[in-house]
Amino acid sequence: MGELNLYGVYVPIFLIQAILAYILLNIVSLGTDRLIAKGWIALPGAFNLCLYVILLGLIHWLSIVYFG
C-alpha cells in the first residue's frame, strides 16, 4: 500500500479505493433496491454491508493485480 501526495496532503490509496467502492455500491444498489422492495432480501442492512465489503475487496484486488 502507499499514498498519494496531493499538494502536500498524503491521501492513502485504500481511502480512494473505499470511496470508489461506495460510488459503485450506490450504482449497484439502484438494481438491488427493487429486490429489497419485493422482499427477496431479508436483511437489507446486512446485505448492503456485505455487498460493500465484496466491492471493496474486488477493487482492492484489481488495483493490486494491475498497479502493484
Task: At 30, list the grid cell.
Answer: 439502484
Rounded to a whole number of angstroms, the CA Rg of the chain reads 15
- Mean pLDDT, the chain, integer: 94
Instruction: Please choose, from the candidates 8, 21, 27, 5, the residue with its C-alpha nearest in 3D space to the C-alpha of residue 63.
Output: 21
Q: What is the pTM of this model?
A: 0.88
Per-residue pLDDT at 1 exceeds 80: no
> Any idea what DSSP says for residue 5?
E
